[in-house]
Amino acid sequence: MATQTDDPRIIEFDVRTDEMLVNMGPQHPSTHGVLRLVLRTDGEIVSEATPHIGYLHRCAEKIGENLTPRQWIPYTDRMDYLAGMNMNLGWSLAVEKLMNLELPEKARHLRVLIAEMNRIASHLVGMGAYGLDLGTFSPFLYAFREREKILDLFEEVCGARLTYSYITVGGATADLPPGWLQKCEAFLDQLRPVIDEYHALLTTNAIFVRRTAGIGVLSAEKAIDYGCTGPVLRGSGVDYDLRRDGEQRYTEMYDGYAFEVIVERDGHYPKDHDYPPVPKTAVLGDCWHRFYVRMLEVMQAMDLVRQAIDRYSMCSGDWGTPVKLTEKLPKGDAYMETECPRGQMGFYIVSNGGSIPLRARARSSSFCNLSVTYDLCRGCLIADVPAIVGSLDIVMGEIDR
């Protein structure tokens, strides 16, 4: 099996075979929707992997120029459809920044609570689908089983299971139903031991470690160069999380919450004491670390949800009334970035004073994260391509918009 040597011009080979161009996707079981990767392969070795995007383009941004901000909220749901609440939140914050709205405290905690719950759901899918990419089916269903419970909770809150449109400009469309917090706590209690199961099935599984450790190593510099964010960036060891380092309007939401950014320090992760140790073969920035960061972020999000539940139940008063559907926007522009499960999701709004914005734009985290595929997949084996792309955990709806 030929592998690349240090000098990129020298390629070791057994038998000279023709280079093949292979289309992985858009109809392929493991390209997370409709990503099309054009692989140039020499036997099993991939010499080039070019992502082609655009198969899910739905002109969401153009539509945003014809709708009021609150009307555009459902479209943000359909961007990162696995983390609709976080998308709603990002756009709402951008519009609120433009309108300079201040929210009641209860709305703040409610948003943290809902956004972190959605982060758990999103990471569960990411984890399950990653197992699927590596050829094991069961963890996928185990992850979906837990996610279903979150979706059930969300359904009680807003009536929808995938496209929530719950968090909106000025707060949320409704308060949490009575008794919901208890259900949420019960869910968190039973999720904790299940997470250990996932670790047994995937994180510590010898085959899983062999498939992911040392594969697709993304150095910190390269991650920053490509504009990677979220778990992909933190998996490379860069200590950066918008919930701590972001704009004040966003970070003040998390004021008073105790949480540590999940990033490796001296071979250890925060809160990893009851977790499996980092395997010896793993290199910082490889697929295993990206996966592990996601798993730990689930734990982190669970902590945050618990804190949010406490603080929410202590608050009294208003949960935040949504603004009028056709509320006039002040003239000007605003850009707001939030830490979504997949990374840094930015929304930009430009207004000329009417109720419909002049421009509505989104900065997609998956788009930047996907751009590293070309670099990471060079010289790997075909089987590593799904492993690498899966570890980036992309959602095509967000990339193509």
Partner 1 sequence: MAEYLQQYLPQSLAYLTAALVHAVLILVVVALGTLIFIWLERKVSGRIQDRLGPTRVGGKFGWLQTLADGLKLITKEDLRPASADSMLFLIAPYVSLCASYVAYIALPFADGWVAIHLNVAVFFIVAVLGLEVFGVMLAGYASGSKWSLFGAMREAAQVVSYEVPLGICVVVPVLIAGTMDLVAIGQMQAGWFFNWFLFHDPFTFIVFWVYFTCATASVNRAPFDLAEAESELVAGFHTEYSGVRWSIFFMAEYSSMVVVSALAAILFFGGWNGPLPITHWLGLADSANPLAHYVANLLGLINFLGKAIAGVTFMMWVRWTLPRLRIDQVMATCLKYCTPIAAFGFAGAVIWTFLFPGGLVIPNKDWVVQEEYQLDEPQAQSAASTSAASTSPLAHADSGLHAEEHHGTD
Partner 2 sequence: MEPINWHSVFFLLFALVGCGFSVAVLLTSNVVRMAFYLVLALAATSGLFFLAGADFVGAMQIMIYVGGTLVLLIFGVMLTARGPFISMRTPAGEWILGAIIGGSLLVVLLSAATSVRAWRPVAVAEGEARPTATRLGMALLGARVDKLEEPDPTQREGMSGYLLPFEIVSVHLLVVLVGSAYLARPKKRAVGSTAETV
Given the rule CB under 8 A, which residues bind partner 2?
2, 5, 9-15, 17-18
Q: Which is nearer to partner 1, 83 or 376 (CB)?
A: 376
In order of 121, 175, 342, the CA distances from 77 in angstroms are 14, 19, 14
Q: Which two tokens stand for residue 318?
A: 């208003």
Instruction: Assess contact for 194 and 211: CB atoms under 8 A.
Output: no
207 counts as binding partner 1 under rule CB under 8 A: yes
Neighbours of 258 (CB within 10 A): 8
Q: Which is nearer to partner 2, 13 or 137 (CB)?
A: 13
- How many residues bind to partner 1 according to rule CB under 8 A? 32
Q: Which is nearer to partner 2, 15 or 258 (CB)?
A: 15
Residue from 357, 312, 305 nearest 331 by CA: 357
Pairwise CA distance, residues 193 & 316, whole Å? 33
Pairwise CA distance, residues 120 & 150, whole Å? 8
Contacts with partner 1, 29-68, as mask; x by CB under 8 A: xx------------xx------------------------
194 counts as binding partner 1 under rule CB under 8 A: no
We find the least distance from the C-beta atom of residue 191 to partner 1, in angstroms, to be: 15
Q: Which is nearer to partner 2, 43 or 227 (CB)?
A: 43
The strands making up 45-52's β-sheet, listed across from edge to edge, are: 19-24, 36-42, 45-52
Question: Among 201, 217, 220, 284, which residue interacts with partner 1 (rule: CB under 8 A)?
Answer: 201
Neighbours of 17 (CB within 10 A): 13
Q: Which is nearer to partner 1, 17 or 313 (CB)?
A: 17
SS3 106: helix
> Can you state the angle between helices 84-99 and 105-133, rounded to 10 degrees?
140
Question: Among 132, 262, 368, 396, which residue interacts with partner 1 (rule: CB under 8 A)?
Answer: 132
44 binds, among partner 2, partner 1, none (CB under 5 to 8 A by kind): partner 1
Q: Which is nearer to partner 1, 39 or 107 (CB)?
A: 39
We find the least distance from the C-beta atom of residue 222 to partner 1, in angstroms, to be: 23
386 counts as binding partner 1 under rule CB under 8 A: yes
Question: Among 210, 268, 324, 331, which residue interacts with partner 1 (rule: CB under 8 A)?
Answer: 210
Q: Which is nearer to partner 2, 45 or 150 (CB)?
A: 45
91 binds, among partner 2, partner 1, none (CB under 5 to 8 A by kind): none
Q: Which is nearer to partner 2, 2 or 188 (CB)?
A: 2
Restricting to residues 6-35, which ones interact with partner 1 according to CB under 8 A?
20, 22, 28-30
128 binds, among partner 1, partner 2, none (CB under 5 to 8 A by kind): none
Q: Which two tokens stand for residue 244?
A: 């701590």
Instruction: Assess contact for 346 and 362: CB atoms under 8 A.
Output: yes
Q: Which is nearer to partner 1, 100 or 138 (CB)?
A: 138
Range in contact with partner 1 (rule: CB under 8 A) among 93-101, 202-210, 243-251, 253-261:
202-210
Pairwise CA distance, residues 25 & 249, whole Å? 40
Pairwise CA distance, residues 158 & 240, whole Å? 32
Pairwise CA distance, residues 48 & 373, whole Å? 9
Residue from 16, 43, 31, 46 nearest 375 by CA: 46
We find the least distance from the C-beta atom of residue 362 to partner 1, in angstroms, to be: 29
Instruction: Assess contact for 172 and 107: CB atoms under 8 A.
Output: yes
9 binds, among partner 2, partner 1, none (CB under 5 to 8 A by kind): partner 2
336 counts as binding partner 1 under rule CB under 8 A: no
Pairwise CA distance, residues 179 & 167, whole Å? 20
> Can you state the angle between helices 180-198 and 105-133, rounded to 10 degrees?
30
Q: Which is nearer to partner 2, 10 or 206 (CB)?
A: 10
10 binds, among partner 2, partner 1, none (CB under 5 to 8 A by kind): partner 2
200 binds, among partner 2, partner 1, none (CB under 5 to 8 A by kind): none
DSSP secondary structure string, 152-184?
A: HHHHHHHS-SS----EETTEESSPPPTTHHHHH
Instruction: Give the chain's largest Cα–Cα span.
Output: 74
Interface with partner 1 by CB under 8 A: which residues?
Answer: 1, 20, 22, 28-30, 43-44, 131-138, 141-142, 145, 201-202, 205, 207-208, 210-211, 381-386
